[in-house]
A and B are shown apart, each in its own frame.
Chain A
Amino acid sequence: MKKRNKNEKIISFFIYAGPLILVLLLLSFTPAIKGIQMSFLKASRTDMSMTFNGLKNYINVLQNPYFYKILLNTICYTSLVIIFGAIIGITIALLLNEKIYGRGFFRAVNIVPWVSPPAVISIIWVWFFGKYSPLNDILIRLDIIKEPIDFLGNLHTTFGPINSPMISIIIVGAWVIYPFIMIMTSAGLQSIPVELYDAALVDGATKRQQIFLITLPLLKNVFTIMFTLTFIWTFQYFNAYLLTKGGPRGSTELLSGHIYIRAFTKGDFGYASAAGIIMMFLMFLPCLYYIRMILKQIKNSG
């Protein structure tokens, strides 16, 4: 076999990875620079011209009391979606780890919510939380409520400190993300060698000891990547906007939806870009952590 020298290898690398490098430069790097640039500009939607605006966009965002309300909404949404999603996803992953009838079917079916078309699904969820829904029907039959409630449209119904539109979009968020948590947990569980449990059984370990001393410690790695990624996705999740358009009265407006509304319905591109950069800044540490974790895995596997 012909031994290739170093230079040849580098040239070949650039030939075959070239299109990818070009895509990254043109479609990722350039827009990112453009985005940073735009956060310092005032853009007009009519003729797409831009004028320098200094730090004014950032000041506008940071002095907007509404922005902090949205930040609070987003934090509330993100944490509750992750908690609910994790409870459901981890539960079903653990249950499907036992050998039961129809296991493959249940696994396959439970992936579907994660890849479902959000706009179509938003129509059915809006209907589900509306007056003519099976949810209201059941609640009335159980005598919990007297009249059907529009869960997405009113702020009078509350669950503790959280109003019903927010809870509704959180349920949909958890519904979208739980399959991913199930996939990751299942894969993590399957990567644990059975011999470990056998050995533990020989040593007389109880089921609970097996979970706390074998399963959970060995899942630590998978769980850190899973939760970091879930956080990154949920914090920037846009499709919740489709359920309520941020309403009623901004009670369900999240960061992504806020940026979208500011840019594309109000035409305030400078504000939207500055808010976007601030959002990036808030997500910087989790993203960095995620990238570091993946790189470590890549290096370990050679």
Chain B
Amino acid sequence: MKYFFKIFNKVTILIITLFGLFPFIWLIISSFKTQKELYQLPIVWLPRMLNFENYLKIKTVFPIVRLLLNTTIVGLSCAIIVCIISTSAAYAIVRFKNKGTIILIIALLFAQTVPEVILVVPYYFLLFRLHLSDSLIGLTIAYLIWFIPFGTLMMRSYIMSGYPKALEDSAQIDGANDFQIITKIVMPLCAPAIVAVGLFTFIGIWNEFMWASVLILDNDLKTIQSGVYRFFGQWSNTQQINVGFAAGTIIVLPIIFITFYIQKYMVAGLTSGAIKE
């Protein structure tokens, strides 16, 4: 009986994992199929041969390089700004605690819970007013509010418990000012957490669809998700869906690799609020 449960547990784990991974597996398999194989009944489970034709065709159908470049520019600049502002603010919240800090934390938590679809309407008008609609700068600025609250709260818990405070104190005795402490002591010590916040921001922007599709209308400035959806999304032209699967594979793979790298920090960051340290 005990043996039966052991097998049963393992099978359950495998089934759930398969449920989680199946869309990715099917995406990758489909990216090697020809258009004819995709529209065949009964369906073809595995392509007859590994053809890379779909991958070679991507560039002729869909401006993938342009879109990836735009996304990377926005993602990287936003990630860098988020890291700097979050670390500095988290340091201030932890070390210069006063009556105002709790108000600041409440404001951060509020900013975190406002639905994205509600903010996007005013952003659409505000950016238009500032002549920043249809620009990557405008999009970068808009995204800050998505990631700075999470970044600050995560850096705060890391500064509080990630390293001994004595390291800061000894630098202070040596005559370092706050700016030097942040750049020379806090940032190197918090490097893993900062990298995690940065990558988390980058993934978030890489994956974001709604704001990008609303705030950027110029096809040359679109980011990857809104671009890919415009070409291959629901009820759009599916004549070249095989190419869409190949492009999709290229877009998904970096995310999977980054996730493997940062999952430990992600877990720590997500649960630090909920579980007592």
Q: Residues of A with Cβ closer than 8 Å to B?
A: 1-2, 6, 9-10, 12-13, 15-17, 19-21, 23-24, 27-28, 30-32, 34-35, 38, 43, 48, 88, 91-92, 95-96, 98, 100, 106-113, 115-128, 131-134, 136-137, 140, 148, 152, 175, 178-180, 183-184, 186-188, 191, 221-222, 225-226, 232, 236, 238-239, 242-245, 256, 259-260, 263-264, 269, 272-273, 276-277, 279-280, 283, 287, 290-291, 294-295, 297-298, 300-302
Contact = CB atoms under 8 A, between A and B. Distances in A.
Given A27-B144, A38-B121, A236-B116, A12 B260 contact: no
B122 A34 contact: yes
B89 A17 contact: yes
Nearest to A148: B41
B234 A244 contact: yes
A132 B260 CA distance: 32
Given A118-B225, A133-B43, A295-B102, A111 B117 contact: no
Contacts of A269: 121, 125
For A16, A21, A34, A123, the residue with the greatest tally of chain B CB atoms inside 10 Å of its CB is: A123
Contact of B27 (A106, A108, A124, A277): A124
Contacts of A100: 9-10, 13
Given A91-B12, A124-B248, A238-B210, A17 B234 contact: no
A298 B141 contact: no
Contact of A35 (B13, B118, B210, B232): B118
A28 B101 CA distance: 17
Interface in B22-44: 23-24, 26-27, 30, 38-43
A-side interface mostly: helix
**Shortest beta-carbon contacts, A-B, top 4:** A20-B89, A16-B92, A236-B115, A13-B96
A183 to B, nearest CB: 5
**Interface majority SS (helix, strand, loop, mixed), chain B:** helix
Contacts of B173: 1
18 contacts: A2-B172, A9-B96, A12-B96, A16-B182, A28-B114, A98-B9, A115-B255, A119-B229, A123-B233, A124-B23, A124-B24, A127-B30, A238-B116, A263-B121, A273-B121, A279-B118, A297-B276, A300-B276
B17 interface: yes
Contacts of B69: none
Nearest to B82: A23
Contact of B142 (A27, A116, A239): A27
A117 B23 CA distance: 12
A110 B142 CA distance: 30
B225 A117 contact: yes
A291 B106 contact: yes
Nearest to B151: A20
Contacts of A276: 115, 117-118, 121
A31 B234 contact: no
B21 A112 contact: yes
A23 B106 contact: no
Contacts of B49: none
